[in-house]
Chain A
């Protein structure tokens, strides 16, 4: 059975993430212990609230280094909600720009919509090759956020396989999921998205060594 660590850095409803991952077939530990984080088959980086607060919390438990080391070794990492947002270059909230982990180019900014937060169940437009959405391409997923990535700016290259980028429309299109080798991320909350979310988690767990 695949082992998963949910990174505990003081953000989010970790209990739901743990239970949903267990239900999807993993053994789960909620911790920030570096050895456990490195040893797990998969690492989940959750996150709710403000970008800056999440970065501060992550940094306090050496999250950026742990994530970087895992990815350097091709070890799977799944970012959820703000745990996805921090993977980009930076986030701008209330006029303040905070540096992110810069795994992907792009800036997390306020969504362009009449009603915010974007709160509730929405659909996704996933690439045909998506493994994350296998079996649930037409399903609804639960979102709650006011910020997002509106432009995917990673240039195409014939020397690297392009990440699979999934979009959702709310006012304007934003990036709702990314599959990029060992690094996957969702703007929605698979752990709160009922059976469809459970399938996404199972699809991820199946990629774990």
Chain B
């Protein structure tokens, strides 16, 4: 084989916007001036795709289970038009929920609270669909009395579980999780940068990809997160409000010598 002639060959750091959706509509301020409908997940997904997003995460915060159908429909419509990987999480409680999201067009499904209260769901989903599509979303914060100093929380950080974060992610990976979406509740909303101490600690105990989440405020915040062991960086509000673009994050990563997938000219179709 001849690998000598190519430029440096390397897996790109993924830059991922996260959209909160409620009953099939995007919520929490999206501020693109030229959007016809800032609440339409499909239009936003296309926009982020064109801007160079490497994946999309939809976090479904629909409270009423009677409205879950709107979520499947949204995933279907998005997957029909946007050809980059799509992760959907929020309210996933059973293998059946998992199956329906995958059939609708999700590539990965993220588990959070339901995995903590019933971890067998991880084993069942990994067995049936493969680890590659099982993402564990961990909301964690610093807490006294934890061996690692980090505690798992549920319900968006409102409820403590008494579980040590490192022990939990290790167990989840053993059960078959293929990726960890690591959300620091301490850093979340601060815009002071990702929680490097947390990323380092989790990197040392698992060998699956880590998506760093919580704290992004400036493009260059992505660099130390990757150096600490993150494989991808996720943000919501800074992208939605237009404070920071996907391209600016990629430029910052590239300037630090980290591999990114460049925006192709044809992506702005």
Binding site for B on A (CB under 8 A): 13, 15-16, 19-20, 23, 48-50, 53, 114-123, 125, 138-140, 142-146, 152, 165, 167-170, 173, 191-198
Q: How far is the CB of A22 from chain B (nearest CB, A)?
A: 9
Name the residue on B nearest A191 (C-beta).
B83
Q: Are B132 and A48 in contact (CB under 8 A)?
A: yes
Which residues of A sit under 8 angstroms from B269, Cβ to Cβ? 195
Chain B 239-269, CB within 8 Å of chain A: the 1/0 string? 0000000000000000000000110101101
Which residues of B sit under 8 angstroms from A116, Cβ to Cβ? 207-208
Q: Are A13 and B12 in contact (CB under 8 A)?
A: no
> Per a CB cutoff under 8 Å, which of A13, A139, A140, A146 touches B102?
A13
Give the secondary structure class of B's interface: loop
Q: Are A117 and B232 in contact (CB under 8 A)?
A: no
Instruction: Give Cα A23 to B179, complex, Å.
Output: 30
A-B contact pairs, 30 of them (CB 8 A): A13-B102, A13-B105, A15-B76, A16-B79, A16-B105, A48-B130, A49-B129, A50-B130, A117-B208, A119-B132, A120-B13, A120-B231, A121-B11, A122-B12, A125-B9, A140-B262, A142-B84, A142-B85, A143-B11, A144-B107, A146-B132, A165-B1, A167-B1, A173-B1, A192-B83, A192-B107, A194-B49, A194-B84, A195-B83, A198-B83
Q: Are A193 and B83 in contact (CB under 8 A)?
A: yes
Which residues of A sit under 8 angstroms from B84, Cβ to Cβ? 142, 192-194
Q: Are A170 and B106 in contact (CB under 8 A)?
A: no
Which residues of B sit under 8 angstroms from A16, Cβ to Cβ? 79, 83, 105, 107
